[in-house]
Amino acid sequence: VTSQILKIHIIFLCLLQQALDSNLSNLIKRNNELESLMGKLIQTCQHVEVNASRQEGKLMEECDVLIDIIQRRRELIGSKIKEGKSQRIRKLAQQIANCKQCIERSSALITQADQTLKETDHARFLQTAKSINERVSMATASTQVLIPEIHLTDTFDTFALDFGREKKLLENLDYLTAPNAPSIREELCTASYDTIAVHWTSDDEFTVVSYELQYAIFTGQSNIASLCNSLDSWMIVPNIKQNHYTVHGLQSGTKYIFVVKAINQAGSRSSEPATLKTNSQPFKLDPKSAHKKLKVSHDNLTVERDETTSKKGHSQERFSSQSSYGVVGNVYIDSGRHYWEALIGGSTWYAVGIAYKSCPKHEWIGKNSASWVLCRCNNSWAVRHNSKEFAIEPLPHLRRVGVLLDYDAGCVTFYDAVGSQHLHTFHVSFAQPICPVFNVWNRCLTILTGLPIPDHLEGLDPQD
């Protein structure tokens, strides 16, 4: 029993020793950490003293500059007041001298005239009175001319001082802070097929030194977070002095995300992201390609079946078959996203789509591997490529066909542009530039181009 108690006692001592050793180590560690922290605090106090002294020195320098400016302006304005005073004094002194001289002459003349009036000898009076009368009359006239010049102003109205604005600015002197975040005004922004004009406003325009515009292609909401965390993906336009900027060289039919940063000496703040998009590339119909039985309007936007039309000559650019009444757009597309619409002018037999530049002009579009179209033949609708047709069922009275071409993604999609109904998508690995193409067998078609891609098509996955 004594042996067991001894063992328990030894174990207890060992455990106690281990606990004490562990606690001592923790205490030493914490003590070292406190010493390190205290050293950093002391160093920070020293930095505070130095930096505060530096800021006080800068404050004194800036105030001395302001005081120097005020003193120089006071001397300048004071000298103008003194100059004005001198000019007035000189004019007044000259007028006083003129008045004194006039009074002296008048007094002498008054004395002579008074003596003449007292003359009793008529002959002598007649001899001097006429001369004296003329002199008195002239003296009276000269006095009348002098009197208006004597009315000189003694005020300094032209030197009125109003330092209200300057006093307010001086009273608002304080440490500069970073400007408030600007706000992009999407309703003021405009776009073409390759440019976007971005407009913004700022509550701190007085303190803003410059703006910086950042933009990148928008691919989704997740794109915003990743972009905000990485400056490498942004295109940056620095040192903008006005509150608007036009970005050139953008991809047509593409949505971009924009951020504006307001900058001054104290720092910067950025606006909330805004998404803006370019329009589709505009194009018109190419009259040189139109079948001889088609008439293209003067604005090159409408094509009409016209049996009275008789075009002379033939070229490889013109549709030539008896049944291929076609015309192409005057643009060739080899990248980007593009959208256009065809307004159906009562036609019941037409085709709308795309084709390679090398597509044959002597056969129906859609009958070969170089063209993809949506067509209507009276009461039936279909999509056609390489002589293969797939029937579709659009909404009744289809009036506008929308075509979305995503060249890079390799797809062309047809829509009911009024009812927003998806009609068909072709998936293609494009090997050549693409041009819009149209066939009209009766009535007419009108094209609408240079349009922005509709919002409901922006998030469309071309693989869906």
Residues 6+ apart with CB under 8 A from 91: 152
Angle at 204 between CA 198 and CA 210, to 5 degrees: 55
How far, CA to CA in Å, does 431 sit from each of 154, 385, 410, 434? 91, 15, 10, 9
Cα separation, 375 vs 358, in Å, equals 21
Cα separation, 268 vs 238, in Å, equals 13
Q: What is the pLDDT of residue 464?
A: 47
Cα separation, 461 vs 130, in Å, equals 118
Q: Which residues pair with 16 in a beta bridge?
A: none
Cβ pair 359, 433 in contact under 8 A: no
Cα separation, 380 vs 403, in Å, equals 19
Residue 338: burial class (beta carbons within 10 Å; 0-12, 13-18, 19+): buried
- CA nearest neighbour of 310 among 292, 298, 294: 292
Q: Would you write out the chain's pLDDT as a tens digit for each of its 464 residues?
A: 677 888 888 888 888 888 888 888 999 999 999 999 999 999 999 999 998 898 889 889 988 998 998 899 889 988 988 888 888 888 888 888 888 888 888 888 888 888 888 877 777 788 788 888 888 787 777 666 555 555 556 666 667 778 888 888 787 777 778 899 999 999 999 999 899 999 999 988 888 999 999 999 887 766 666 666 666 678 999 999 999 999 999 988 888 999 999 999 889 999 999 999 999 989 999 999 999 889 999 999 999 998 776 665 566 788 887 778 899 999 999 888 899 999 998 899 999 999 998 888 888 888 889 999 999 988 889 999 998 999 998 877 789 999 999 998 899 999 999 888 899 999 999 999 999 999 999 999 999 998 888 887 865 554 44
Question: Residue 61 phi/psi, 5° resolution?
Answer: -65, -45
Cα separation, 166 vs 184, in Å, equals 32
In tens, the pLDDT along 115-171 reads 888 877 777 788 788 888 888 787 777 666 555 555 556 666 667 778 888 888 787
Cα separation, 39 vs 355, in Å, equals 77
Per-residue DSSP letters for 177-205? -PPPPPEE-GGG-EE-SS-EEEEEE-TTT
Alpha carbon dihedral 86, 92, 93, 95, in 10-degree steps, equals 150
Cα separation, 358 vs 371, in Å, equals 10
Cβ pair 256, 276 in contact under 8 A: yes
In this structure, which amino acid lies at residue 154?
A: D
Cα separation, 406 vs 253, in Å, equals 9
Cβ pair 353, 401 in contact under 8 A: no
Angle at 84 between CA 82 and CA 88, to 5 degrees: 115
The pTM assigned to this predicted structure is 0.59
Per-residue DSSP letters for 317-333? TS--SSS--EEEBS--B
Q: What is the pLDDT of residue 462?
A: 45
Given the DSSP bridges, would you call strands 400-406 and 274-277 parallel, antiparallel or unpaired? Answer: unpaired
Cα separation, 438 vs 423, in Å, equals 17
Per-residue DSSP letters for 7-23? HHHHHHHHHHHHHHHHH
Residues 6+ apart with CB under 8 A from 177: 266, 267
Cα separation, 76 vs 306, in Å, equals 84
Which uninterrupted H or E stretch holds 210? strand 210-217
Q: Which residues pair with 382 in a beta bridge?
A: 375, 391
In tens, the pLDDT along 284-338 reads 999 999 998 899 999 999 999 987 766 655 667 888 877 788 999 999 998 888 9
Residues 6+ apart with CB under 8 A from 400: 341, 342, 343, 344, 416, 417, 418, 448
Exposure string for 17-42, b = 16+ CB within 10 A, e = fewer? eeeeeeeeeeeeeeeeeeeeeeeeee
